[in-house]
Structure formats: structure tokens, C-alpha cells
A and B are shown apart, each in its own frame.
Chain A
Amino acid sequence: MADLTTDFLGIKSPNPFWLASAPPTDKEYNVRRAFEAGWGGVVWKTLGEAGPPVVNVSGPRYGAIHGPDRRLLGLNNIELITDRPLEVNLEEIARVKADYPDRALVVSLMVPYDEKAWQEILARVEETNADGVELNFGCPHGMAERGMGSAVGQVPEYVEQITRWVKKHYQRPCIVKLTPNITNILAPARAAKNGGADAVSLINTINSITSVDLDNMAPEPTIDGMGTHGGYCGPAVKPIAMNMVAEIARSPDTAGLPISGIGGVTTWRDAAEFMALGAGNVQVCTAAMTYGFKVVQELISGLSQWMDEKGYGSTADFVGAAVPKVTDWQNLNLDYVTKAEIDQDLCIKCGRCYAACEDTSHQAIAMGEDRTFTVKDEECVACNLCVNVCPVEGCITMRELRPGELDPRTGMTIPEDKRTWLQHPNNPGADPLACIVRGQ
């Protein structure tokens, strides 16, 4: 069995699966259950200042997007940070950490933009012996209206300043949690790095309205006839999160900054993908909220099996392995050609590939009298839509044309070398010599 032990900023955990700061980590009872179930670590739900705790709504907090069979694809929430007294949380954190010294326990924090406020709470956290802190600069609802959460995360100067204060007053690792509600994730990532952050974690939730009650004409979740935007998470946000993780991992000025990957991790494969894009570990919330803490068993067994199959001895062996393959569009090989192929033995003749291609793409699939569907290589641009709409996994695949093969669509013979947009004759800015050399 592969060794899943992870060292993230010097914080050791038996596996790279942490529970994100969220309802599942709001109190001792839940966190103990999580550790008993096998989670490698938790980020305790965000603590606020001492004094009267925040007040949550007492109507519905969550909205949802469902896929087939009511699979939960996306969840949004309008819950605030912990609404339990600071003292209670701190006592519980200390107790749990003492009982589970091998697990990671990081404390999420959110206090006003004021050095003293940060200094005070950091001192209290230090007393709990927690492994580190995560700065919640991401919450997009409620707290943002009070100048915290994403209101901070959207202003790189604030991110940098608070990070500096934290590093000044706290000795253990500091993770800065980023909001995706921003045009370029690199700006707050750079700010965090400049402020001295040990790592960034992302993404926090996305501003969203998941549904509208068409009887009452109000967004859902609806509180006494009114609704507000919530933070969106779950499988639906994974592609957005992975792109942001990859951008930070590959950008020269942020590359190397440790990343804790968050956003729709549901299976071991999701975790492996985030980690391949540069995340040193992953944080999970919606999968646990949907299926309970037991899902970690599949995350562990699946990642172990895959690592064994690939010969990876530890998670560090593949973290960031896909980062060099993430590039800009202009660097893609425009002479690379594939063609769709339909496995007639697997085909169930539903015709969805045909409808998709005929109606919305390139008319590259032929439908025979007996509902035999075949690809017209002379029309196929290899868009992959047929692969994506086919209900049978592995039925439609893409065959790569080898150098020397003719592409019947363009009449071009696949060359040995590659040509990107930078060399392409249609690019007004390309080097004309490159084309002449190729005989074009």
C-alpha cells in the first residue's frame, strides 16, 4: 500500500484528505467523528472575535443543483462563521488536538481589518496547540457585508497587510484562503505570498443563486420571502477551482507557493487531479455533507490503489506532476489531429452522438438504415462532443493520426514536427520564414 502520509508546511497528517472549514468542522462532536472515520485533518470552522457570536438565519441555509437521480452536483449556503462562543470553540480545539496528535488541526479565522483584533485571537489560538491557522478571505455572503471574508480577499492590499500581521504575531504556519470571486486569482495569491503566507488554499465558495421559487418569485434558499446570494461549492465548481490552482502553480511569481486544493473534491480521482495540478493536499466539504464522513474510506483506498499502480511511493511523488503540461492556448500543436471512433460492439444505438454532431457541430456522424452510427473522417474536426454526450463510457474514443497519415478533412499529411499558432501562416504575427521552411 502506498504511503499517504502528507507533510504540508510541516504539518503531518496520515493522509492528504482534510475537511474544509465549514459546517462539518464546527464543533468537537463532528470533528471527533471525522477523525474516527479516518480524515487526515480538519480546518476548524471559522472563529470570529470574542464577544456575542454571530447570528445565523433560522430558515433554510442551503440551495442545491441536482443531476440525474438527484445527485447533488452543486450546493450553496448562506451560513456565516461559527455562531458558537469563541471560548467554547477554543476549549474544544485544545481537547481534540490533545486527543488526536497525529491529525492536522488548523483553525480558520476571520476578524475585522485591525491588527489588534488579529493579534488577540492569534494569541488565543496559539494556546490551543493547533497546527496552524487559515485566514478566511473568501466567505462571499454576510460577513463580506461587514468588511470581512471576500471583502478582504478581493483587495490584494488587505490580503497582504493582514497576512503580515498574522505572520508577525503567530509562529505556526499561516494559510491564506482565497476567494474565486475575482477576475484574476493571481493578484490575491501574489499578495498573500508577499505578506509572507506559508500557503494559499482555494477556492472558497462562488457567489451564486442556485434556484428561484417560481411560486413566490424569490431566490432560494428563501428566508421569509426574500433571498440573497450564497457561496457555491460541490462537484460543479471543481473545474473552476482546478484552473485557479493551476494558474497559481504555473505562474512564475507564485510557483512553488504551497497550495491546499479545495472545490468539489468528491472522489480519490478528484483529489489526485488537484494534487497533480500542484495542490499538496485537498480539503473536502460537500462530499462529506452529502454522504457523511465515511466517504474518506474510498478516497484513501482509491488514491492508494492508483499510487500503487503508478508506482508512486508518496504523495510528494506526483504533486504538481501535471503543472508543466498546463500552458497557454497559443502553445498547442495545431498539426495534432485526432478522429472520433465509435466502438460498434459497445454502441447501444441511442443516436445522441448523431443528434449532437448533426444539429450543433460538424455533421461528421452518419446514421445508417439500421441505426449504425459511423464517423465521417472527412468532416470530423475532433471536437470531442460525441465522446462527451455518449452515455456509454469508452464507446467513442479519439484516435490520434500519426505523422505521415492523411487527414481526409484538410487533405494535409500529418507532419513530423509541430506547429503552434506562433508559427501558423494564418497568424499575422507569425514568422514567415517558419512557413517557407515547411514549404507553405
Chain B
Amino acid sequence: MANFADLHPPLSDHEALVAADRCYFCHDAPCMEACPTTIDIPLFIRQIATHTPEAAARTILTQNILGGMCARVCPVETLCEEACVRMSAEEQPVEIGRLQRFATDRLMAAGPQPFERAASTGKRIAVIGAGPAGLSCAHRLAMYGHEVTVYDARSKPGGLNEFGIASYKAVDGFAAREVEWLLGIGGITLELGKALGKDLSLDALTEEYDAVFLGLGLTDTNKLGIPGEELEGVVDAVDWIADLRQAEDLSTVPVGNDVVVIGGGMTAIDAAVQAKLLGAESVTLAYRRRREDMPASRFEQDLAASKGICLLFNATPAEIRGEGAVAEIEFTRTGTDARFTLTADQVMKAIGQKLGAALGLETDGRKIAVDGTGRTSREGVWAGGDCASGGEDLTVTAVAEGRDAAEDIHAKLMGEG
């Protein structure tokens, strides 16, 4: 479906060379500092410029094994590319994200993941959640020679890469291909359809394994807490996106004519844009605060606007009305008594997700409390990604946290930490 084609199409060889040429090879590069996984960006771009994209990919993947996905989904406009000195120079950053994709695509097309396993250590580690944090952690542990079992409640691995990212950011089943490629390192067993709290218990896992890493993500969604929330046609945006991502035929995905998305983050944008692309006549994205408070980047906001989505700010949902199914939604102007009503036959809630269960671990705000290396309050249990405290809820942050926890687990198990 053309509507769902690549948001940022891949660079051709020529385009990549021209784009790479613009990198200044900065000292102690600001882009690198701005990357949660601290990829050596100037080095990998120089490697592209000198016709060794495979070496560039190794530079990327050494820091970030999901560099292929991150090249597609990272909000580079608020990370590496925002920090690029070319922004000061001419407000046109080096296209770091697309160059990263160029290099990783090249290496992935050429063959298997490029890292080798060390000799077996005999240590066994359970990773809960096959999302970015869990996969990153598992790969790094496998590389060090540990035996890793990755459990996931869903029937497919990938976590939000597979179920959450907007489909035009990861076309052609990239998420699934990347997981398969990553598992090529060996030493990782995948156990799907097994949920912590149902099929697994933390006590049993800590008993059975030398270490446990939790990369559970955020499994519950926040509620609006207003009348009418139970009406038919009121859905959680994350569930709707997950259904869309798994749909064999996009025309079967239920989408209203007048869609109202409540929220201001990336999920809200992803849901709104995809609803429009699926054929909704009008899509309104309603956010309760000011534009400058919106978590979604200006790039994402502009993307939504360019697709014909109406962005509404300072709009607090008050009541959803309808006879059995949603027909309209009433808002107040945030902080005032002024009210207005929008016609809606579908309302998508994208007002944030939260931890399903804290599993008896200490929490920090809404999340599992961890220290800088991912250690939780329980001995032998690490956590990272969206379920853990610290960092933004981004794929790239999850990858960094999974990797760093793996380093700490390895050091601990090998008696160095």
C-alpha cells in the first residue's frame, strides 16, 4: 500500500556519498554525545565516505545492535541531528539517521550479524521481554558466551518494534527480519507466549537462572477517567496500532470516519497519521496542553499536519457521548470553563502507558527503580527499557539500557563487578 511506504526512503549509493561528504569529523562530536547508545557517528560516516559501509555498520552495531531499527525510528531531530554542528552552520544537519540506515542495510543484506560468541561460560540468564531492551541485552550476553533464554508474552518477538512503531517507519517486515538476524549469533533461546505473572514467576526465574533481566515495557495504558470511556469505538491507540501492524490486509483494520486521538506523544501521532492513511475522513489530534509542551517533536507534528491531521492544543477531554457507540466527544479549553464538542465515531486514547506490575521491586515514580547499570532493588535482577526508571521512552534508550545491563551482568557473573 503506497500510503504506508517508507517515511524516509533509503539513500542510494550516490546520495549516501554526498550526504557523508558533509560530515566535518568533529572532535568529541556533539552528535555522538546526543546518541543514547553513543555511536561513533563521525567514524561511521567517514567509513561510508571511504566506500566501506560494512565497516561503518560494525561501528554502529558495536554500540547498538538494533542500529537498523534505530536508524528508522529514532527521533533524530531531537537527538544526533539536532546536535550536528551543521545546524549551527546552516540549519541543515548531516543526515545521520539515513546514513546509519544505509550502512546497516548494506551489512544486513550482505549476510549474518557480524559478531562472534565467546567460549561458553556456562552461565544462564533469563531475559523477560523480546523488545529492544531485552534483545539488546540478550545479544550482548550471548556475545560474552552466556546462555540466554528470552521470554515474551506475545506470539512474536520484537516488542514495540513489531507491535508499536508506525508501519511506515519499518516497512517490509523489517522488525521481524532484524530479530532473526540478531538471533543469528546463537546462544539465545526464544520462549514465546509466556508472560511473567501468569506463566512465569520472578521467584522461580531467579532460582533457575544466574541472572534475570526485565525488559517488560509498559503493558498497561492510562485511562481518561471520564464518562463514556466504555463506549464502543473508544480504543487504546497502542492496541489499535498493534492490530494494524499484524494485519494481513490493511483494509480490515477498523477505522472511523471522524477519528479523534487523545494524547501528545509519538503513539498519538503514529495512531493519528495511520488512521488518516487508512482512509479516515477527518482526524483530530487533541492534546491537553500547549504545543511547546507536546512530547512529540516538531518534525512529528509537522508530519501529522502534512497528512491533513488537525492538531488541537489546550483541549482536555470531558465526556464521550453516544448511543452504545461513540458519536461525539466534549472538551474543555484547558484551565477554563469553555467547552466544545467534536463529532467522533472513533476515539483513540494515547495518554501514556504504565507498568503492569512492579513484581515486588522498588519503584521510582511509575517505573521499576534501577541504578546506572540497571540493577533493581532485588539481587540478581536487572531491568531496562520503558519499564525501568531513567532515560526517555525511546527504542534507542532501551537498546542502551539493555546493553549496559548486559555488561554489568557479565561483570558480576564473571566476578568483576
B21 lies within 8 A of A348 (CB): no
Identify which of A68, A354, A371 contacts B30 (C-beta below 8 A): A371
B88's partner among A68, A69, A70, A348 (CB-CB below 8 A) is: A348
Nearest A residue (CB) for B88: A348
Q: Mark A340-371, 1 if CB is under 8 A from B, else 0.
A: 00000000111110110000000000010001
- For residue B23, give the distance in angstroms from its CB to the closest CB of chain A: 10
Q: Are A350 and B21 in contact (CB under 8 A)?
A: no
User: Within 8 Å CB of A68, what residues of B?
Assistant: 21
Q: Does B28 contact A (CB under 8 A)?
A: yes
Q: Is B18 an interface residue (CB 8 A)?
A: yes
Chain B, 1-35, CB within 8 A of any chain A CB: 17-18, 21, 24-30
Tell yes or no: A383 within 8 A of B by CB.
no
In the complex, what residues of B have CB within 8 A of residue A392's CB?
89
- Which chain B residue shows the least CB distance to A365? B27
Contact among B21, B26, B30, B89 with A352 in the assembled complex (CB-CB below 8 Å)? B26
Contact between B85 and A350, CB atoms less than 8 A apart: yes
Q: Do A349 and B21 touch (CB < 8 A)?
A: no
Contact yes or no, A351 B28, CB < 8 A: yes
| B21 cross-chain contacts in A, Cβ below 8 A | 68-69
A69 to B89, CA, bound (A): 18
- B86, CB-defined interface residue at 8 Å: yes
Residues on B with beta carbons closer than 8 Å to the beta carbon of A355:
27
- Asked if A415 is an interface residue, CB under 8 A from chain B, the answer is no
State the CA gap A391–B23 with chains docked (Å).
11
Chain B positions within 8 Å of A350 at CB level: 24, 26-27, 85
Output the least CB separation between A355 and chain B (Å): 4
Cβ < 8 Å to B, chain A residues 359-401: 367, 371, 391-392
Q: How far is the CA of A68 from the CA of B29 in the complex (A)?
A: 20
Pick from A70, A348, A350, A391 the residue with the most CB of B within 10 Å: A350
Chain A proximity of B16: nearest CB distance (Å): 13
Interchain nearest-CB distance for B385 vs A (Å):
31
* Chain B nearest Cβ from A44, distance in angstroms: 38
| B30 x A349 contact (CB < 8 A) | yes
CB distance from B98 to the nearest CB of A (A): 17
Give chain B residues whose Cβ lies under 8 Å from the Cβ of A69: 18, 21
Do A391 and B89 touch across chains, with their CB atoms under 8 A apart? yes
Interface pair A351/B89, CB less than 8 Å apart: no
- Taking the closest CB of chain A, its distance from the CB of B31, in whole angstroms, is 11
Is B18 in contact with A352, judged by CB distance below 8 angstroms?
A: no
Of chain B, the residue at the smallest CB distance from A371 is: B30
In the bound complex, CA of A351 to CA of B85 (Å): 10
Q: How large is the interface on A (under 10, 10 to 19, 20 to 34, 35 or more residues)?
A: 10 to 19
Task: Give min CB distance, A212 to chain B, whole Å.
Answer: 15
Q: How far is the CB of B298 from chain A (nearest CB, A)?
A: 22
Q: Check A352 against B25 for contact (C-beta < 8 Å).
A: yes
Chain B 70-94 interface residues, beta-carbon cutoff 8 Å to A: 85-86, 88-89
Tell me whether B18 and A351 are in contact (CB under 8 A): no
Name B87's closest neighbour in chain A (CB-CB). Answer: A348
Residue of B nearest to A71 (CB): B21
**Contact between chains at A348 and B89 (CB < 8 Å):** yes
- What's the least CB distance linking B11 to chain A, in Å? 15
Known A-B contacts A354-B27, A355-B27; the reply to A349 vs B18 at CB < 8 A is no
Minimum Cβ distance to chain A for residue B96 (Å): 15
Q: How far is the CA of A389 from the CA of B105 in the complex (A)?
A: 33
A396 CB to nearest B CB, Å: 14
Kindly report which residue of chain B lies nearest to residue A353, judged by CB atoms: B27
Q: How far is the CA of A351 from the CA of B21 in the complex (A)?
A: 17
Cα A371 to Cα B21 in complex, Å, equals 23
Please give, as numbers and ranges, the residues of chain B lying within 8 Å of A354 by CB-CB distance.
27
* A354 CB → nearest B CB, Å: 5
CB neighbours (8 Å) of A352 from chain B are 24-27
Complexed CA–CA distance, A68 and B21 (Å): 6
Closest Cβ neighbor of B89 among chain A residues: A348
- Distance in angstroms between the alpha carbons of A185 and B154 in the assembled complex: 79
Which of B18, B21, B24, B25 has the most A CB atoms < 10 Å from its CB? B24
Q: In the assembly, what is the distance between CA of A371 and CA of B89, in Å?
A: 15
Docked complex Cα distance between A424 and B86 (Å): 46
* Residue of A69, A70, A351, A392 most packed against chain B (CB within 10 A): A351
Closest chain B residue to A390 by CB distance?
A: B24
Instruction: For chain A, residues 129 to 178, give those with C-beta under 8 angstroms from any C-beta of chain B.
Output: none
B33 nearest in chain A by CB position: A371
Q: How would residues 315 to 358 of chain A score, 1 for a CB under 8 Å from any chain B CB and 0 otherwise?
A: 00000000000000000000000000000000011111011000
A249 to chain B, nearest CB (A): 38
Q: What is the minimal beta-carbon distance from B148 to any residue of chain A, in angstroms?
A: 40
> What residues on A are CB-neighbors of B26 within 8 Å?
349-352
Q: How far is the CA of A352 from the CA of B29 in the complex (A)?
A: 10
Residues from chain B with Cβ under 8 Å of A70 in the complex: 17
Residues B88 and A351 in contact, CB atoms below 8 Å apart: no
Smallest CB separation, A73 vs chain B (Å): 14
- Provide the bound-state CA to CA distance between A352 and B89, in Å: 14
**In the assembly, what is the distance between CA of A161 and CA of B268, in Å?**
87
Q: Please give me the residue from chain B that is nearest to A391 by CB atom.
A: B24
The docked-state distance in angstroms from the alpha carbon of A69 to that of B14 is: 10
Assembled-state Cα–Cα distance A349/B88 (Å): 8
Interface residues of B in 223-257 (CB under 8 A from A): none
A250–B21 alpha-carbon span in the complex (Å): 41
With the chains together, A376 CA to B89 CA distance in Å?
A: 24
A392→B21 CA distance, assembly (Å): 16
Residues of chain A with a CB closer than 8 A to B28's CB? 351, 367, 371
Closest to A359 in B: B27
B-chain residues with CB within 8 Å of residue A367 when the two chains form the complex: 27-28
B85-A348 in contact (CB<8A): yes
Question: What does the 1/0 interface line of A59-102 toward B look like (CB < 8 Å)?
Answer: 00000000011100000000000000000000000000000000
Contacts of B89 in A (CB 8 A): 348, 391-392
Query: B385-401: contact bitstring with A at CB < 8 Å (1 yes, 0 no)?
Result: 00000000000000000
**Minimal Cβ-Cβ distance residue in A for B17:** A70
Chain A residues with CB under 8 Å of B30's CB are: 349, 371
The residue of chain B having its C-beta at the shortest distance from the C-beta of A358 within the complex is B27
Provide the residues of chain B in CB contact with A348, threshold 8 Å. 85-86, 88-89
* A residues in contact with B88, CB < 8 Å: 348-349
Please measure, in the bound complex, the distance between the C-alpha atom of A439 and the C-alpha atom of B167, giving whole angstroms. 81
Q: Kindly provide the distance from the CB of A55 to the nearest chain B CB, expressed in whole angstroms.
A: 35
Give Cα A350 to B86, complex, Å. 9
- Residue on A with the closest CB to B27? A351
Bound-state Cα–Cα, A396 to B17, Å: 28
Min CB distance B236 to A, Å, is 43
Least CB distance, A358 to chain B, in whole angstroms: 8
Quote the shortest CB–CB distance from B266 to chain A (angstroms): 29
**Identity of the chain B residue whose Cβ is nearest the Cβ of A354 in the assembled complex:** B27
Per the bound structure, the CA–CA distance linking A69 and B28 in Å amounts to: 24
- What's the Cα separation between A70 and B20 when bound, in Å? 12
B85 CB contacts on chain A under 8 angstroms: 348-350
Bound CA–CA A392/B29 (angstroms): 17
A33 to B86, CA, bound (A): 41
- Residue contacts A-B, CB under 8 angstroms, 28 given: A68-B21, A69-B18, A70-B17, A348-B85, A348-B86, A348-B88, A348-B89, A349-B85, A349-B88, A350-B24, A350-B26, A350-B27, A350-B85, A351-B26, A351-B27, A351-B28, A351-B29, A352-B24, A352-B26, A354-B27, A355-B27, A367-B27, A367-B28, A371-B28, A371-B30, A391-B24, A391-B89, A392-B89
Closest 8 CB pairs of A and B: A351-B27, A355-B27, A348-B88, A350-B26, A348-B85, A348-B89, A350-B85, A350-B24
Given A69-B21, A348-B85, A351-B28, 17 new contacts (CB under 8 A): A68-B21, A70-B17, A348-B86, A348-B88, A348-B89, A349-B26, A349-B30, A349-B85, A350-B24, A350-B26, A350-B85, A351-B27, A352-B26, A354-B27, A367-B27, A391-B24, A392-B89
